[in-house]
Structure 1
Amino acid sequence: MSCGESCCVSITQCFFDYSTQKVLVIRNNLVGTLNRLCQALVIAYIIGYVCVLKKGYQDTDTVISSVTTKVKGIALTNTSDLGLRIWDVADYVIPPQVASRRTETKEENSFFVLTNLNITPNQTQSRCAQNPGPGSMCSSDQDCKRGVRDSRQNGVLTGRCIHFSKSEKTCEVFTWCPLEKEGNPPDPPLLADAENFTVLIKNSIRYPKFSFNKRNILPHVNNSYLSQCVFNRVTDPDCPIFRLRDIAAEAGEDFQTMAVHGGVMGVQIRWDCNLDMAESCCVPAYTFRRLDNKDPENNVTPGFNIRFAKYYKNEVGKESRTLIKGYGIRFEIMVFGKAGKFNIVPTLLNIGAGLGLLGLVKVLCDWFVMKCMKNKQQYIKMKYEYVGDFGQVSLCSLFTYTYSLIY
């Protein structure tokens, strides 16, 4: 037989050969128990954690959301500055709501409800003495530089030093006079009735990957139901109308205490939906928490307040205004969510990754036998064979070795 024919025969034989790894069966209760225990842990991880708890068989998508709010309620006050007065939605929701039968706020995902206020009535643009302070006290006109505009002061200096009181002199300014009244807000709050105001939260969500849409006004909710329901976690969890006092209580806060200086309250809506189940199982979960700082040891500028004014003109056309420093609660509505639906690709990927961990079981058992067993030398001798000199390597041997590396 020629050399060429011999090579062809060798290659043909190698092609139809089958090689397998050498398997050693160790009959040892300790090693066997370790092996089965590790395998059980890996399988429990795959089935319990990956598939059941984390739903590794599902493809997921994050929520896209839109929110609108409608506040309703009436408050009655009687003060020396304003007299007897009714406050409705146009007065206590800042910024004002869009005029309609059921109004909606302009701010995206938030609204501000006035709960307390300091009022400075009948202000006109004129000249008056500044309030006493480190930057406003003076002894002569030379201490008041004309035309200076300090953002921390009330207006533009006129260059005159005048009496604020019999014992105090301050620089004169051109501004809205009389200046804003200073002092703490009233306690109890003027708009204490705000605790009974209600807000309708309309939340629409979408999971674009699954073409799934839903809103928090569920299919069984109708106009008759909405006209009388108020959210209660136990008795009425599907109602999208919330009483402000209940929101504060759910967050562990007292509304009347919070209403004095104001604050920021978070309304969290979570949509976690398993789309392998019926659509009716996908419902919102509401949670509430206070967002601003109320640490008693760090109480500089507590709460939340804004300033706004109501303008008037008298018979001769002179403009005046009522300045209001309003304290209130800002409600931030935050929507979170994730949806999942069965998909073969993540299923195979997660199961494959989990089964790959079974290979670590053999590595762990081999290490245990070679390091901790009494007859570890015998195991090493039977598992590994050492050859000192390969000599000439035939084409068939080379092909077989390459084939075993690949497979």
Structure 2
Amino acid sequence: MTEHKQGTRRSFAVIGAGINGAAIAREITQRYPDALVTVYEKADHVAAHQSGHNSGVVHAGLYYEPGSLKARLCRRGVNLLRDYATVNDLPYDECGKIVVALHADEEERLRKIHERAVANGVPDVELIGPERIREIEPNSVGRLALHSPHTAITDYAAITRSFVDDVRAHGGTIHLNSEVVDIDIQANGCTVTTVDSSTRRGDRTKHVESFDFVIACAGLQSDRVAKMAGGAAHPTIVPFFGQYSQLEPKHRTILNGLVYPVPDPAYPFLGVHLTKRVDGEMLIGPNAFLSFGRENYSGWKIGVKDSIRVASNLAFWKFAAQNMKAAVHEFGAVLSRKKFLAGAAEYVPSLRGAVSKPIPRGIRAQAMDADGELLDDFVIEQQGRATLIRNAPSPGATSSMAIAEHILDVVTEAQNLAPSTPNSEQKDN
């Protein structure tokens, strides 16, 4: 067993090197410069899962319940992320976004989104009519739209790598190919057991290390990691894949920013939208359908263990029964990219007949409670000296730096930690 304790220096293990794990590890080094920080990542590189499979949208905070963690941390996170990207010369483009109502019955829902956005403090949001829609997006149509000029796009994988560079620069350690298989919480510390995920299962040697505190940011595996630490049985993770299509190059300049539909309460996700990426490519998507595997990015590698777990989950069947209409709707888009594109062409008519190609899908780590309800807000569980992120879907990446602040506030208060003197040589100062 390796002891990560030297005198009075605090030691932290962070599980997961996605954007939230990397942001939290970085925040520890900023807040407790003398701390020993170790990050464990099962994959052979950082941002291997949700942080590296997304559209790159930096959400402004339009949709979230005022006062919720999502609303508060999204708004704080936007400002932190923008400033960090600017200082560190990382991609960040405030291209703006319009949420478009095509039909009269969508207008009232759009007005309520506007009310939420204003309540959340989203700057400069306004409702606009058809003429203003055409001024902002000449190729788009609609009866009414919500304009969010400060919605942005970025490269979350690049930001994650920069966070990790910061951690290393402040003496932290990143262990790749390190799968956590057990967490043991004691009164005065925690032990973390890992194996080398790059070796054959039968050849894996267990490594046990001891820390003062553990923070788990395991995304798609968050419920399983929480169970290792004695966490609650629910929420459980049900993976939903989102398939994006990339338009052919001639459509790269068809939009100035992002075009979204008004969310339909009959469906649990936002619906197909058009997203510009920081490399200039234009995407359409995503659809949302049950993924047969938590890490099945190709669509062909079925995760038998994951699929059996979903099939045996009573909560999932409760959810399915309540959302059969949505499932049929989404499955049509899964089977036919032409239907997928036709949905986008309702908002940008010149896309009729456009050609696109699928790109690697993303998989959303969606937490579900015992009643089959999808949890909307961020969920954090405390188990002694272990802090577990149980649900951090979109806008989790947008909020990552604010989530990191919040997590460290939770740990500091729960463990009654004395403050450290901030490091005067921080990368972003």
Q: Name the TM-score class by shorter chain.
A: under 0.3
Structure with more of its chain in strand, by fraction: 1
Bigger Rg, which one: 1
